[in-house]
């Protein structure tokens, strides 16, 4: 069975959520698969205009920095949506 980690954002913690993200990535050993020069996509969720549900730029920066430090070549990407909206088509 896989370990699942949960961060209750209604609680106060001694460390910042960015520091805890860094620790989680280190503990998971998820960056061990990155070799020097490995191109690595960082999938974002930028949401629709006015949306408050998106990946924090602080988390993205931390992950990009960690990938770079591991020797990878990160790039940011997102996808279109399955529903009709501003992000339904990439060419618009």
| pLDDT value for 44 | 86
CA distance 90 to 18: 31
**With b meaning 16 or more CB within 10 Å and e meaning fewer, what string describes 10-25?**
eeeeeeeeeeebbeeb
Question: 13 Cβ partners below 8 Å, 6+ apart?
Answer: 20
25-34, 40-49, 75-84: which has the highest mean pLDDT? 25-34
pTM score: 0.78
| Alpha-carbon torsion (27, 32, 33, 37), positive or negative | positive
pLDDT, tens digit, 9 for 90 and up, residues 56-91 = 899 999 999 999 999 999 999 987 776 776 666 666
Residue with tokens 């860094």: 22
């Amino acid at each position: 069975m896989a370990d699942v980690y949960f961060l209750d954002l209604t609680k106060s913690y001694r460390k910042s959520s960015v520091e805890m993200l860094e620790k989680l990535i280190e503990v998971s050993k998820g960056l061990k698969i990155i070799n020097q020069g490995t191109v690595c996509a960082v999938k974002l969720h930028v949401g629709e205009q006015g949306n408050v549900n998106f990946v924090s730029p602080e988390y993205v920066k931390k992950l990009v920095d960690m990938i770079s430090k591991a020797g990878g070549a990160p790039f940011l990407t997102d996808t279109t949506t399955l529903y009709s909206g501003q992000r339904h088509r990439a060419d618009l």
